[in-house]
A = this chain, B = another copy of it.
Amino acid sequence: MASPEPAGAEPAAITPALAGFLVGSQPADLPEAVRHEATRSLVNFMACAVGGCRDPAIDRLLAVLQIAGPQGGAGLIGRPEALDPAGAAFVNAAAGNVLDFDDAHPRTVIHPAAPVAAALFALLASRPPVSGPAFLHAFTLGVEVACRLGNAISPGHYARGFHITTTCGVLGAAAACAKLLDLDAQRTAAALGIAATGASGLVENLGYMAKCVGVGSAARDGLLAALFAQAGIDAAPRTLEGERGFLRVFCDAPRAAEVLDQLGVRWEAKANTYKPYPCALVLNPVIDALFELRAAPGFRPGRIARVRVRGHPLLLERADRPGVRTGREAKLSIQHTAAAVLLLGSAGIACYTDAAVNDPALVDFRSRVSVEADPHCPSSAARVALEDGEGGWQEVRVEAARGSLERPLSDTELSEKFRSLAAFGAAGLDPEPLLGALWQMKSLHDAGRLLRLSSPSGGVRPVAGAPL
């Protein structure tokens, strides 16, 4: 990790250097492991988007956008409607994020795929076919830019209250679209500069639908930044590293050197992870421990008198929520999650609906769950103990949860996640052809096929808008 910049030092030429790297990068430059990881991230993004595409928040956002710009042409993942490219980028990114089931770059907590992939898909709508490898390459570069900028401003940026997925996501989306549009170095730098002016997002809105508006906007504004740059709109030459540029404005002590450190050698796509459960990341080791306890011989939920969860103080602070009422809140509740795993044997998407949260058996069980902070426990670990009320107890300790960098989901597990989310959110969509095409990105001649396969009607049709 590089040191903070000395005050008053002349900034390194990050914006032009990054633009030059993007322009020069070729699909063949990606190591095979990076390409595969990028594919996994796309599978995960598509899974989240087909799962989230009928969420009430998405229905409402779409209704407004159909009116504000109803021209069709760009398809929506998992739905039969189409929008203009800017609107489609917005809705697909929001849908990919609405279930909180995204990819996650642990060092920065960025969820990079939703803004980057959705912007790229929107760009495909009305261009000559783009090959699978070219699409994957642009996607990888977009993730790279978002996560590297995030590295340079973490953890202060997020701690201050900026929603890093959107502030860095818009820059990743612009970088990816600039690559797919084949912009030169000057216009690529302009695309980054225009996108930097659109960087926004507040942590305060996490847990509310407004969060999805931010993620949607990041995809749309990144796409538009690249298109504006292509059309000749200029930006300050040092928008990232300048005195009043992105890094210094959005972070009290940025480490600008992180942006270019081992660029093209170390790939952030390989430091990306995929959530196994649609709830807060801090709950993952708890869930793993609960599943292990449930699988033990002689497990009987009726015998459990008390569930004791111990973890890092952050776990207590974020997720000690016995009295939840909505699915959205329950994603941050240890009590609800423990009840769901122990009683239902699941921590899947169906456990975090409003109906599940208000199920009397689960409501009753939540009161048996208590949480304690253990300052010696790392945030990646957790301990869970079950007590039977007669002095008997069992305890399990998990050091690194499923889905972490140490224990990544397998490709098979990712495919399973995809199928379950398709079944949850996109009735009528056959997941297998889409899943097959995703895993075969390397040999795909037209990446637009992914979007066509993601529509339940097998194609895309524009819809008419109504007056405001």
Contacts and interface: CB of A to CB of B under 8 A. Distances in A.
Nearest to A244: B161
A236 B224 contact: no
A127 interface: yes
A225 B60 CA distance: 12
A228 B64 contact: yes
Given A85-B468, A161-B244, A249-B162, A235 B205 contact: yes
A197 B211 contact: yes
Contacts of A161: 243-245, 248-249
A235 B235 CA distance: 32
A455 to B, nearest CB: 20
A323 B302 CA distance: 83
A210 B231 contact: no
A57 B162 CA distance: 30
Contacts of A242: 204
A341 interface: no
A139 to B, nearest CB: 18
A210 B224 contact: no
A39 interface: no
Interface residues of A, number: 71
Contacts of A248: 161
Contacts of A193: 205, 208, 210
A60 B465 CA distance: 26
Contact of A235 (B68, B86, B208): B208
B204 A190 contact: no
Interface stretch (A213-221, A310-318, A383-391): A213-221
B197 A199 contact: no
Contacts of A235: 205, 208-210
Nearest to A63: B231
Contacts of A198: 200, 213-214, 217
A239 to B, nearest CB: 5
A398 B160 CA distance: 44
Interface string A59-96: 01101100111110000000000001111000000000
A294 to B, nearest CB: 35
B468 A204 contact: no
B57 A69 contact: no
A6 interface: no
Contacts of A301: none
A267 to B, nearest CB: 28
A415 to B, nearest CB: 32
A238 to B, nearest CB: 7
The 7 A-B pairs with the shortest beta carbon distances in the complex, nearest first, are A161-B244, A69-B69, A200-B200, A210-B235, A161-B249, A69-B84, A204-B244
29 contacts: A60-B231, A61-B231, A68-B227, A71-B84, A71-B465, A126-B468, A127-B468, A162-B249, A166-B197, A193-B208, A194-B210, A196-B202, A197-B210, A197-B213, A197-B214, A198-B214, A202-B239, A203-B249, A204-B245, A204-B246, A204-B249, A205-B235, A208-B236, A209-B234, A210-B228, A210-B239, A212-B233, A213-B225, A213-B233
Given A194-B213, A197-B217, A204-B239, 20 more contacts: A60-B233, A67-B126, A67-B227, A68-B224, A69-B84, A70-B71, A70-B84, A71-B84, A126-B467, A126-B468, A127-B468, A163-B197, A166-B197, A190-B210, A197-B202, A198-B200, A198-B213, A203-B244, A203-B249, A204-B249
